Chains A and B, each alone.
Chain A
Amino acid sequence: MTGLVNKFLPNVVANWEGDNGFVTAIWQTLYMTFVSALFAGIIGIILGILLVVTAKDGITPHKNFYYWLDKLVNLFRSIPFIILLAVIGPFTKLIVGQTIGPTGALVPLVIGTAPFFARQVQLALVEVDPGVIEAAEAIGLSPMKIIFRVYLREGLPELIRSGTLTIISLIGLTAMAGAVGGGGLGNMAISVGYQRFENDVTIVSMLFILVLVFVIQGLGDLAVRKLEH
């Protein structure tokens, strides 16, 4: 077995441990994915809820607020990620003190993902039956309670579905961020595997990313199945 691995994946074995090795890269990818998913998730849920409740037929309509928030979300969603990485460099430095490495990638990853997720949250929540919202209003629930007890509760399966989708596309972005200095499996595949012609490194990097995607998709599906009645 060891012999086989050594024979077919010599560079993977050579690059397994150490600061620039696979183990580190996997941790970096997981770190970038989940830390930015956490922040982007919180920001996205808040923005998504605001979009839903301030819309014209929302529970607390606010025309101007909705108009500008909607535009802002669209704006950030329209910037190609690779350009965003470069453009917000100074801002990144201000927030996390560095622009390279996994931590330096966090800010652009959050800013690149949050608006996308906000839109997903909005789509998930507008799907909640308006009749149920009306029933909750008739019962005498405050807007805050309607958000927590109706929107987030009834919309939960759909939110998990979009959350899964968002994390998967976030993994894609971490690979891109990795290639321009963020580290992780993306960096491994490009700067080691591709640029040094060590093809086995590229392929194994890709396989790790695929495994990560499948695991997340599987967990998401499982949660949705548990929640839907």
Chain B
Amino acid sequence: MAEQNGIIQLKKIDVTFQNEGKTIEAVKDVSIDVKKGDVFGVIGYSGAGKSTLVRVINLLQKPTAGTVIVNGQNMLELSQKDLRTARRNIGMIFQHFNLMNSLTVYGNVDFPLRDSGLSKAERKQKIDKLLDIVGLSDRANNYPSQLSGGQKQRVAIARALANDPEILISDEATSALDPKTTTEILDLLGRLNKELGITIVIITHEMDAIKQICNRVSVMENGRLIEEGDLLSIFGNPKEQLTKDFVNTSTHIGSVLDEIRDSGIVDKLSGRLIELNYIGDSTNEPIVVELYKRFQVEANILFSNIERLQNTTVGIMLFALTGDDDKVEEAIKYLNSLKVNVKEIDLKKEGK
């Protein structure tokens, strides 16, 4: 069935650059499949090849090898003219907004509409509507230099939406913005996804951005896609080290562990250190109470964090278990039998 296929399918994409005799493999054998209505996140450090990869979607970057299918069209087989038409169905926003400085806010949103065949009055109606969606109706006659970063990005979003695209690509669109503005822009993107049904691909190096709106996540490292899955499984059960690093940064457990290690608490700590990850509605309290009731093992909670991701609770807890060695062993077995991820951490051994 046609619907089974993703709206964006990248298959076995390689992108290599030749630079002064050296070959740089920016993207290596990456396949992704984005379903209609997804908010698909690609996360990785700078230089991981994320930007190059998303540019393959609208062929701003031609892949060295692989297949690009967007909306059922094989993009690599299109003529230049058809490719330009196809690109109108793919809006794009950028880290540095990339607005025309010589045009007003209104002019910037009008920019992609000039070839749309709409009359001037129809265009005006559409631009007014778009500016209303992004909340900038009162700024229509301002120039970009008179706007804040967040406002500029809103203009860029309105521009990207002008041709009613089914897909929106966000290339580090919040990386140049402060945290509050970042949240506002992500909220806006999330709203566009829900209200207009627009499929969004966002690339970022911030797990918080992914957490806020994505339902699926890909992790990239050195040009390769190292892990992929829905948000909850990536967040609750990361497999690769890099994914864990991103998740840890986001839940702050990484810095908590560093703190425990560096402050010397680790030497005073008795018992065994356990990290618990859980998804769903198990809460902290009963587990701790159960451990004491059943095994007379005390759980000294060092850190706990609960978040709501896509209306599901994702929790993380760090505690030290003290009690008889046998009992502690039994308690850990009991934890393992629950629907939670249990990981024992040996800070003294792990070192830094």
Contact = CB atoms under 8 A, between A and B. Distances in A.
Interface in A144-176: 145, 149-150, 153-154, 156
Contact of B111 (A137, A139, A227, A229): A139
Interface string A93-136: 00000000000000000000000000000000000010110111
B120 interface: no
Contacts of A179: none
A30 interface: no
Which size class do B's interface residues fall under? Answer: 20 to 34
Contacts of B80: 142
B114 to A, nearest CB: 8
A140 interface: yes
A138 interface: yes
A141 interface: yes
B111 A140 contact: no
Contacts of A129: 96, 98, 101
Q: Which of A131, A135, A153, A154 has the most CB of B within 10 A?
A: A135
Contacts of A153: 100, 102-103
Contacts of A139: 87-88, 111-112, 159, 163
Interface in B174-216: none
Nearest to B112: A139
Contacts of A141: 84, 115
Nearest to A150: B100
B60 A137 contact: yes
B45 interface: no
Interface in B89-121: 90-92, 94, 96-103, 111-112, 114-115
A135 B92 contact: yes
Contacts of B114: 149
6 contacts: A132-B100, A138-B60, A140-B88, A140-B112, A142-B80, A149-B111
B145 interface: yes
Contacts of B112: 139-140
Given A134-B60, A229-B145, A142 B98 contact: no
B143 interface: yes
B102 A138 contact: no
A142 B84 contact: yes
Given A139-B111, A139-B112, A140-B87, A154 B60 contact: no
A136 B112 CA distance: 8
B85 interface: yes
Given A138-B90, A149-B114, 5 more contacts: A132-B98, A135-B92, A138-B87, A138-B91, A139-B163
A86 to B, nearest CB: 43
B58 interface: yes
B94 A134 contact: yes
B337 to A, nearest CB: 52
B159 to A, nearest CB: 8
A223 to B, nearest CB: 13
Interface in B9-30: none
A229 B99 CA distance: 13
**Which 7 A-B residue pairs are closest in the complex by CB-CB distance?**
A131-B98, A229-B143, A140-B87, A135-B98, A140-B84, A138-B92, A139-B112
Nearest to B113: A139
A3 to B, nearest CB: 54
Interface in A34-89: none
A150 B107 CA distance: 12
Nearest to A227: B102
A145 B111 CA distance: 11
B176 to A, nearest CB: 12
Nearest to A131: B98
A135 B93 CA distance: 8
B34 to A, nearest CB: 17
A52 B99 CA distance: 20
Contact of A154 (B87, B96, B102): B102
Interface string B50-82: 000000001010000000000000000000100
B66 to A, nearest CB: 20
B250 to A, nearest CB: 29
A132 to B, nearest CB: 5
Q: Which of A145, A149, A156, A229 has the most CB of B within 10 A?
A: A229
Nearest to B95: A131
Contact of A134 (B83, B98, B145): B98
Given A139-B87, A140-B84, A229-B143, A131 B101 contact: no
A142 B94 CA distance: 20
A129 B96 CA distance: 10
A168 B91 CA distance: 45
A229 to B, nearest CB: 4
Contact of B99 (A132, A145, A156): A132
